[in-house]
Chains A and B, each alone.
Chain A
Amino acid sequence: MTHLTMEQLLALREPGLEPGVQGWRDHATACELCRAELDRLDQRVARLRALPTLAPARNRFAEIRARAVTDRRRRRMVVVSLGGLALAATVALAVVLSPGTAAAPSPTLAEQQELEDIIGRSQSLEGAIQAYNPEQRVTDGRTAVVAATLEDRLARVDQQLQMVDMMDQSLRQHEALRLWRERVGLLNALVDVHATRARAIGF
């Protein structure tokens, strides 16, 4: 007489009736050994369900909350960046290239070139940050705070960039360059934060 395999015994515990299961059920009813094996299986599952609930050693809420706040801020920043940054870049280039008043100094070719380069650098750094996929990473509380601080400063720089065209012509050129340089510096720091974190957790 062939006894039921573990797979067949497990099938008897499943809802619904697969082909062949009724035959296995009949066998289990008639066969003392298989009925005992089915009882063992039921008891084992009951013991698994009765295992104590394990709890974490420490409260992680503060870290999760910090990460959630950073994420919300980052998503807001992305929305602002998509519209605001494109506008700011256009404004910055227009400011430098627009004819100045008789009193205002004309932008040099070197300044124009530097502004174009620095805007390009800013865009590639943003791409590098996205490549680290920070929203999908586990981040400790300290990293989250550092990243949030840098992102706050970036948001302020972006706001200032959008105000540049309201400035006096003689100030605009230098201010646009200064702000874009600051933006690139902050983005570099943010890349470092994400790169360090990625190295620390090994991927």
Chain B
Amino acid sequence: MDAYGLANADAVVPGVKSGDPAAQEALYRAFEAPVYNLARRICRTTEDAEDVLQETFFEVFRSIGRYRGDGSLWGWIRTIASSKALMRLRRNKYRDTDELQDDVTPVRREDAALRMDLESALERLSETARAVVWLHDVEGYTHEEIAGMMDRTVSFSKSQLARAHSRLRRWLQEEVPA
């Protein structure tokens, strides 16, 4: 069951296929927030997330003819959005000559003593680790799917997730649940 959906998808999708602006806008309105949220949780900046949002919907409008309706519409759009967000990470790494770093984003020394909230801790993870955490734990992708999207191995995805959770646990200084 999808968390997001479009009640009248059967009417909207044919309109998008024919280039109808009202149908395109309806589709955009229905999925703008989840696409942006996914992009923003993975990407480093709001600008990158907004570019991913634009690239995703451009691709959706362009390729809607390939959507056969056999899977969920959100599942199809989410795959495009994930792929665009990961492409953006790869491009930024090349641009910054910042090789795939497994380490964390640098942080001021005094922060280490503070208990972080979950948003800050997530933000502090490396882009790759954050992407794996979000795609696996929140979006529900398997390690095999993440490995495919990232052009990495399943072991890479699993170890990124384990290291990320170890760090999150430490930074959040979690108590034993009651």
Contact = CB atoms under 8 A, between A and B. Distances in A.
Interface of A: 5-7, 10-11, 14, 36, 39-41, 43-45, 47-49, 51, 53-57, 59-61, 63-65, 67-69, 71-72, 138, 202-203
B58 A57 contact: no
B112 interface: no
Interface residues of B, number: 47
A44 B177 contact: no
B168 interface: yes
Given A10-B162, A56-B36, A65-B24, A44 B95 contact: no
A64 B57 contact: yes
A36 B176 contact: yes
B37 interface: yes
B37 A10 contact: no
A61 to B, nearest CB: 5
Interface string B132-146: 011001100001000
B54 A64 contact: yes
A59 B174 CA distance: 38
A69 B174 CA distance: 51
B165 A54 contact: no
A72 B19 contact: yes
A5 B122 CA distance: 21
B100 interface: no
B72 interface: no
A65 B21 contact: yes
A60 B54 contact: yes
Contacts of B93: none
Contact of B176 (A40, A53, A55): A40
Contact of B91 (A39, A65, A203): A203
A56 B55 contact: no
B61 A55 contact: no
A54 B177 contact: no
For the complex, would chain B's binding face be called helix, strand, loop or mixed by DSSP majority?
Answer: helix
B159 interface: yes
15 contacts: A6-B163, A6-B166, A36-B176, A40-B174, A44-B168, A47-B118, A54-B41, A54-B49, A55-B36, A57-B50, A60-B57, A63-B54, A64-B28, A67-B54, A203-B95
A182 to B, nearest CB: 29
A47 B36 CA distance: 19
Given A5-B162, A65-B24, A71-B62, A49 B53 contact: no
A73 to B, nearest CB: 11
A51 B118 contact: yes
Interface in B19-33: 19, 21, 24-25, 28-29, 32-33
A55 B37 contact: yes
A56 B53 contact: yes
B84 to A, nearest CB: 10
A44 B28 contact: no
A43 B137 CA distance: 11
